[in-house]
Structure 1
C-alpha cells in the first residue's frame, strides 16, 4: 500500500508539471484503477504550500507598504528590525495623535471593521465595557514614553464579540516621534 501511495504522489507531481498539450497526450492513460481508489494527495500538499506562500506574500506586501510610508515620511527606524521575528495578524499605523492612517487587510479579518471605517479614528474605538481601564491607562502612558512595548488588551469586534489582542507598539521617528505602528494578534 505504501508503495502505491508513493507512486501516486510521484505521478500526481509529474502530472502537475505538464503543460496542457503534454497533459492532453497522456490524459486517457490516467483513468483511475478500480482496485485502488485513493485521493490525490499531492494536491493537498501543494495547497498547503500555496496557502503558506500566499500568507507570506501578503506579509511581504504589508511590510513593503510600511516601508513606502517610511520612505515618504523619512522615518529613521529600521522597518526590517521592527518586523523581524514578529508574529502578527494586523498592522495599525497611526499618526502622533493616535489617529489611524493605515491598516492592513488583517484588520478586517480580526475586527470585522473595514479599512475605511478605521481611518481617522483612534484604536480605542475597539475597546468596550469589558476593557480594563488600568490597561488602557498603561497603554497611554507607554505611548507617551515613546518606547516600544507589548500589552494585551480586551477589544471588541464589529459584532460586539470580545477578543484578547496582543499589541506590540513601536514609535516611528523623523527627528521626533511622528507615528506609531502596532503589530497585533488575537491571543
Structure 2
C-alpha cells in the first residue's frame, strides 16, 4: 500500500538586502556628467578664492582641466587628467605642470607659455608632453587667468586637449 504524503509548498520571499535598497536609489538620482562635475568643483574654488571671473570657458572642448596658483603649482585637476596623462590627481597636486615635459618638449614653446602667463591674458599653445608611461602626446593648452574681485590674477585654469 502506498501512502501519499501531501506536501504543502509555501513561498518564502528572500530577506531584503541593503543592496536591493541601494540599487533603487542609484536609478532615482540623475548621474552627473563630467562637465557638470568640473563646473561644480570650479564653482567651489570660485567661491573659496573670490574669483570675479566667470566659468563660461568650460563650454569649450577639453580633455583635462588643470588649476594652478600664481606659483604654477597644481591645486586641482579633473578626472580627464588621469585619462589623458596616466597620472592620478593626488600625484599631480602640489607639482608644477613641468613634470609633464621632457627632452623633446620645445624650449621655444615653453618660453612662449611663460611669456604669455606674464601678460595675464588668455592664450592657446601647443606642447609635446609625456604621459606616465613615457609615451609622448601633442597637447593643445588654452590658459585663462582667473581674476579676483580686485581684478588681480589669482589663479590660472588650463583647458587641455590631446591632438
Give the alignment's TM-score, normalised by structure 2: 0.78
Equivalent in the alignment of 2:84:
110
Q: Which 4+ residue blocks in structure 1 deviate beyond 3 angstroms?
A: none
Task: Decide which of 41, 52, 73 is 1:65's aligned counterpart.
Answer: 41
Residues 122-158 of structure 1 show CA distances to partners (whole Å, capped at 9, x for unaligned) of 1111000000000000000000110000011000000
1:82 and 2:54 are equivalent in the alignment: no
Deviation at 1:181, TM superposition (A): 0.2
Deviation string 1:9-45 (CA, Å, 9 cap, x unpaired) is xxxxxxxxxxxxxxxxxxxxxxxxxxxxxxxxxxxxx
> Does residue 1:161 correspond to 2:135, yes or no?
yes
Equivalent residue, structure 1, for 2:146: 172
What secondary structure is seen at the aligned counterpart in 2 of 1:172? Answer: strand
| Gap runs ≥5 in structure 2 | 1-29
Query: Is residue 122 of structure 2 the alignment partner of residue 148 of structure 1?
Result: yes
- Map 1:31-42; keep pairs closer than 5 Å: none
Aligned residue number for residue 10 of structure 1:
none
| CA-based RMSD | 1.3
Q: State the aligned residue count.
A: 132
SS, match of residue 129 in structure 1: coil
TM-score by length of 1: 0.68
Structure 1 residue 170 displacement after superposition? 0.2
Partner of 2:104: 130
Distance 1:89 1:83 in 2: 11
User: What SS does structure 1 have at the residue aligned with 2:33?
Assistant: helix
Specify every segment of 5 or more residues in structure 1 that has no aligned partner in the other structure, as ranges: 1-52
Shift in Å, 1:82: 1.6
Higher helix share: 1
State how far apart, in whole Å, the 2-side matches of 1:122 and 1:104 are: 15
Structure with larger Rg? 2
